[in-house]
Amino acid sequence: MSGGTAGAERRRRAAARGQTHLWAVQRVTAMLLGIAVVVHLATILFAVRGGLTAAEILGRTRGNGAWLAFYTVFALAAGLHGAIGLRNIAAETIGLRGRGADLAWLAIGLVTAGFGIRAAYGLFA
Amino acid sequence: MAEPASLKVSVWRGGEDGSFARFEVPARANQTVLDVVTTIQREFDPSLAYRFACRVGMCGSCAMTVNGRARWTCRTHVRKVVGEDGALELRPLANLPVIRDLVADLAPFFDKWQRARGVFQPKDAPDGAVPEDFAVVPPASGARQEADAGIECIGCAVCYASCDVVAWNPDYLGPAALNRAWTLVNDVRDGARQDRLDAVAGDAGCHSCHSTQSCTERCPKNLDPSSAIAGLKRTLFWDTLLGRR
């Protein structure tokens, strides 16, 4: 193998390692979402029994560290899972691939998660 | 099935931008699609290019697209695939460059076996020398059974031509190459496990597979490349999570 192709092969393998990590993150976040969505929906059904008021919600969420931790994990999982899924769809349908695109999708996932975490923190603080 | 008196056969002629030629071929009892192609070449148009060798489902060279679906033509009876009107449409295998008429260029397909490290690398003799002693491989061991499940591939490229992911991503290694890699990952005599797992990881490798299982559905040898690819994903997942790579 010449120096050029060896270098290209090394770069390809480094990229493949990154892609494997993205795949693993998507599978782990899928497992987390499976649990989180059930808890989230069950909580909604439980909370709306006999009506719902803003004060009631805030009474439950303000200062509740466990609640904030749960929704932080939920938002992170949702943001990353969605962005990686969209990345795969974009790669296969419009051929949007490459390191730049991957970093952009990762940023989109983290920003989406950031919005969720900010909303959760707004109900916590 | 229907038994029309003659077959109306549309045959792909030319390269990528070719077109269909139509032939009316007498229907005979028990004829295979390969028999029909041979009849066309011998009696209607000697310039027709197609590929075959063994005629009995051993060599894997006669695969074509028959009525929209990749098949071994030598093992496909006409009566199983023909419509009531006797229509038969023959194209070269999909997802591969067309050389001429019904002949697809399989070079990209076999190049990907190389890229997936489909070559056995003896553990005890990295330089390719014959090992000193025989390896003991219990046939009932889990790893050997995984390897045995995929070892009978004859490289006909029916799975490759049936794979949507290959159509979407020309770099994707495809079911056959990944199946081959999985048999070697499970071969206890092989010494290139890490290197091979690196070669089959990522978007061009097993992680692009959607598990839609066209490969498994259409494999004429009834192999299950889809499960082999799932095995590679599983192995890479735990190796990545546990920091083994």
Q: What is the 3-state secondary structure (H, E, C) of chain B?
A: CCCCCEEEEEEEECCCCCEEEEEEEECCCCCEHHHHHHHHHHHHCCCCCCCCCCCCCCCCCCEEEECCEEEECCCCEHHHHCCCCCEEEEECCCCCCEEECCEECCHHHHHHHHHCCCCCCECCCCCCCCCCCCCCCCCCCHHHHHHHHHCCCCCCCHHHHHCHHHHHCCCCCCHHHHHHHHHHHCCCCECCHHHHHHHHCCCCCHHHCCCCCHHHHHCCCCCCHHHHHHHHHHHHHHHHHCCCC
- CATH superfamily, domain B107-241, is Alpha-helical ferredoxin (1.10.1060.10)
Predicted confidence band at A1 (pLDDT cuts at 50, 70, 90)? Answer: very low
pLDDT at B128 over 70: no
Kindly identify which residue of chain B lies nearest to residue A96, measuring between CA atoms. B169
Q: Structural domains in chain A?
A: 22-124 (1.20.1300)
pLDDT greater than 80 at residue B107: yes
Task: Look up the ipTM and state it.
Answer: 0.83
pLDDT in tens, A107-118: 999 999 999 999
| Mean pLDDT, residues B41-57 | 96
Mean predicted confidence (pLDDT) in B40-52: 97
**pLDDT for the residue numbered B130:** 75
Mean pLDDT of chain B: 94
Q: Would you identify the CATH topology of the domain B6-104? A: Ubiquitin-like (UB roll) (3.10.20)
User: Smallest CA–CA separation between B168 and chain A, in Å?
Assistant: 5
Where do the domains of chain B lie? 6-104, 107-241
What would the pLDDT profile of B2-27 be if each residue is shown by its tens digit? 467 899 999 999 999 999 999 999 99
Question: Residue A14: which pLDDT band, with cuts at 50, 70 and 90?
Answer: confident
- How do residues A22-46 score in pLDDT, each as one tens digit? 999 999 999 999 999 999 999 889 8
Among the partner-chain residues A21, A92, A97, the one whose CB lies closest to the CB of B240 is A21
A16 and B CB contact within 8 Å: yes
